[in-house]
Amino acid sequence: MGIGFRFASYIDNYMVLQKEPSGAVIWGFGTPGATVTVTLCQGQETIMKKVTSVKASSNTWMVVLDPMKPGGPFEVMAQQTLGIMNLTLRVHDVLFGDVWLCSGQSNMQMTVLQVFNASKELSDTAAYQSVRIFSVSLNQAEEELEDLGEVDLSWSKPTAGNLGHGDFTYMSAVCWLFGRYLYDTLQYPIGLVSSSWGGTPIEVWSSRRSLEACGVPNTRNETVLQPERKPMWGGCKREANANYNRDLYSCMFPALIEDWRQNFHSGSQGQTERFFPFGFVQLSSYELVNTSDYGFPEIRWHQTADFGSVPNLKMPNTFMAVAMDLCDRDSPFGRYGYLFNFALAISCCSDNQCKWLPAPVNAFSTKTLILSINACLGTVVAVRYAWTTWPCEYKQ
């Protein structure tokens, strides 16, 4: 990195910092032994000041701000002092809200330009200027990185240009639509960090220690994002299913979640919630292949650590977006990813009918789902997982 006074690569104008109850982490690089003063301002008013020093061992400095309510804009100023020399850095239009990291394969890397009704989605960006976006460049490394090597899109306000930049570039469509939905619901700033790479297996998103815990040899660990100091609060991952150790996925996925949570928590000096929310998208359908050995049903099951649902004992504070009934014959990337579907479940009755029966949703809340069993002639004795690669046509 060299010695120079600067913020970490993802601290920039228009960024979103994590709101209360956490304290946001501000860090960067500087001259060993220098004093760094970080000031948070709003207009002419100084909200707070934090003082630290640059560590000689890493040339880094870090402060934790007091917890802030959602809102803004604010200015963050950092000043390095060494003897009579002073250097000053500023970032402006900073908001406080919730920050989410979105990662995955090509279906997470897919941009808004590629989704159904893209022109309408892009034209709506003006209404979401408090949803800020950031996209990480693709980068391979043999070791975990101290800071991001390169950035595709620095913190920005959403526009039709930076959301519709090009196929599989930036910004992630799933990440954007998720963040937009959160903003509509919560009505405070949302920060979205996109770090996705098509075709990457879960192994390369995992640390050596988490792979070793599952008995997986770490021979392909190209670190895409190292979260040691990153002040993220939630995580959202989409279908990292192109792995080389399919039978171990039920161990590797919970291990990845736990490892990320440990790293974010310790790297932020305990400010990131130890069990921050972690969401993922259920593996959708690709090609009309109704054989159980194709792998997709197995991975769907392993995505839940073989429990069949989340949260569970191995995956606390997690949530899953069901996607196996959003089949798209023309695209494996889920162009209809903006839909939240509650249309179908499968039931089994006690009258010896060995066939799938529709069980439409009668009512639902954030925690419960009530199904209709009118199609059953007898008594419902079980609800079976749809153990097929392509369980139904689109939303049928």
On whether both 83 and 101 belong to a single domain, the answer is no
Given a cut of 70, whether residue 109 has pLDDT beyond it is: yes
35-49, 140-154, 228-242, 318-332: range with highest mean pLDDT? 35-49
Task: Determine, yes or no, domain membership for 336.
Answer: no
Given a cut of 80, whether residue 63 has pLDDT beyond it is: yes
Picking from 54, 5, 2, 4, the residue whose alpha carbon sits closest to that of residue 33 is 54
**pLDDT for 197-226, tens place per residue?**
888 888 888 888 899 999 987 555 444 444
On whether both 231 and 255 belong to a single domain, the answer is yes
Domain residues for 219?
Answer: 95-321
Please, are residues 83 and 74 in contact by the beta-carbon 8 Å criterion?
no
On whether both 203 and 259 belong to a single domain, the answer is yes
Supply φ then ψ for residue 135, to 5 degrees: -130, 130
Given a cut of 60, whether residue 337 has pLDDT beyond it is: no
Residue that is last in its domain, among 94, 111, 130 = 94
Given a cut of 50, whether residue 340 has pLDDT beyond it is: no
Please, are residues 24 and 17 in contact by the beta-carbon 8 Å criterion?
yes
pLDDT of residue 176: 92
Please indicate whether residue 350 or residue 328 has the higher confidence score (pLDDT).
328
Task: Determine, yes or no, domain membership for 335.
Answer: no
Given a cut of 90, whether residue 383 has pLDDT beyond it is: no
pLDDT of residue 331: 54
Residue with tokens 């020093």: 53
Given a cut of 70, whether residue 196 has pLDDT beyond it is: yes
Given a cut of 70, whether residue 287 has pLDDT beyond it is: no
Please, are residues 126 and 162 in contact by the beta-carbon 8 Å criterion?
no
CATH of the domain at 52: 2.60.40.10
pLDDT of residue 336: 44
Distance CA 204, CA 211 (A): 10
On whether both 184 and 291 belong to a single domain, the answer is yes
Task: Determine, yes or no, domain membership for 326.
Answer: no
On whether both 149 and 220 belong to a single domain, the answer is yes
Please, are residues 143 and 160 in contact by the beta-carbon 8 Å criterion?
no
pLDDT band at 342 (very low <50, low <70, confident <90, very high): very low
On whether both 186 and 289 belong to a single domain, the answer is yes
CATH of the domain at 252: 3.40.50
Residue-averaged pLDDT of the chain: 82
Task: Determine, yes or no, domain membership for 384.
Answer: yes
Please indicate whether residue 5 or residue 287 has the higher confidence score (pLDDT).
5
CB atoms within 10 A of CB 20: 12
87-96, 175-184, 290-299, 355-364: range with highest mean pLDDT? 87-96
Section 246-274 average pLDDT:
91
Given a cut of 60, whether residue 2 has pLDDT beyond it is: no
Picking from 5, 11, 8, 29, the residue whose alpha carbon sits closest to that of residue 85 is 5
**What is the pTM (predicted TM-score) of this model?**
0.83
State what percent of residues in the chain have pLDDT above 90.
Answer: 46
Given a cut of 60, whether residue 356 has pLDDT beyond it is: yes
Please indicate whether residue 196 or residue 384 has the higher confidence score (pLDDT).
196
Given a cut of 70, whether residue 355 has pLDDT beyond it is: no
End-to-end CA distance of the chain: 54
List, in sequence order, the alpha helices (H) in the chain: 106-109, 118-123, 160-163, 173-186, 208-213, 249-267, 296-302
On whether both 311 and 375 belong to a single domain, the answer is no
pLDDT band at 309 (very low <50, low <70, confident <90, very high): confident
On whether both 357 and 238 belong to a single domain, the answer is no
On whether both 184 and 316 belong to a single domain, the answer is yes
Residue that is last in its domain, among 321, 353, 376 = 321
pLDDT of residue 253: 94
Distance CA 334, CA 302 (A): 20
Please, are residues 38 and 26 in contact by the beta-carbon 8 Å criterion?
yes
Number of domains in the chain: 3
Given a cut of 90, whether residue 44 has pLDDT beyond it is: yes
Task: Determine, yes or no, domain membership for 1.
Answer: no
Task: Determine, yes or no, domain membership for 330.
Answer: no
On whether both 14 and 136 belong to a single domain, the answer is no
pLDDT band at 381 (very low <50, low <70, confident <90, very high): confident
Task: Determine, yes or no, domain membership for 121.
Answer: yes
On whether both 266 and 387 belong to a single domain, the answer is no
Task: Determine, yes or no, domain membership for 327.
Answer: no
Section 169-195 average pLDDT:
92
On whether both 195 and 120 belong to a single domain, the answer is yes
Strand partners, 290: none
Residue that is last in its domain, among 63, 94, 125 = 94
DSSP string for residues in 233-281 = -EEEEE-----S-GGGHHHHHHHHHHHHHHHHHHHTTT-S-TT--EEEE
